[in-house]
Amino acid sequence: MDNVVIEKFGGASINSASAVRNVITILQRPTDRKRVIVVSAMGKTTNALEKVVNMWHKNKRFNYEEFERIKEYHRGIAEELFNQNTLESVLKQLNDIFEQIEERIKTLNPLDYNFLYDNIVSYGERLSSTIVSLYMDYVHMKHRLVEAQNYIKTDNTFRAAQVDWKQTRKSIDKDFNYLFDESDLILTQGFIGSTREGYTTTLGREGSDYSAAIFAYCLDADSLTIWKDVNGLMNADPKRMENTVKLNIVPYKEAIELSYYGASIIHPKTIKPLENKSIPLYVRSFNNPELQGSIICHGEQVVPLVPNYIFKEKQTLLSVSTKDFSFIAEDNISNIFSILSKHGVKVNLIQNSALTFSVCFEHSEFVLQNLIEDLQQFYNVKYNNDLQLITIRHYTEDSIKEATRNSKILIEQKNRVTIQCLIKPETESA
pLDDT per position as a tens digit, 79-122:
999 999 999 999 999 999 999 999 999 999 999 999 999 999 99
pLDDT per position as a tens digit, 326-340:
999 999 999 999 999
How confident is the model at residue 94, as a pLDDT?
Answer: 99
Asked whether 296 and 228 are in contact (CB, 8 A), the reply is no
- Is 414 flagged in the annotation as binding? no
Q: Output the pTM of the full model.
A: 0.88
- Is 46 flagged in the annotation as binding? yes
Asked whether 90 and 135 are in contact (CB, 8 A), the reply is no
| Strands lying side by side in the sheet with 144-145 | 144-145, 185-189, 34-39, 4-9, 223-228, 281-285, 294-297, 249-251
Which residues 6+ apart lie within 8 Å of 350 measured at CB? Answer: 357, 358, 359, 360
pLDDT per position as a tens digit, 275-314:
999 999 999 999 999 999 999 999 999 999 999 999 999 9
- Is 11 flagged in the annotation as binding? yes
Going along the chain from its start, the domains and CATH numbers come out as 4-228 (3.40.1160.10), 308-425 (3.30.2130.10)
Residue numbers of the chain with a pLDDT score lower than 70 = 427-430
- Is 228 flagged in the annotation as binding? no
Asked whether 314 and 386 are in contact (CB, 8 A), the reply is yes
- Is 182 flagged in the annotation as binding? no
How confident is the model at residue 264, as a pLDDT?
Answer: 74
Asked whether 96 and 103 are in contact (CB, 8 A), the reply is no
- Classified as helix, coil or strand, 184 is coil
How confident is the model at residue 427, as a pLDDT?
Answer: 63
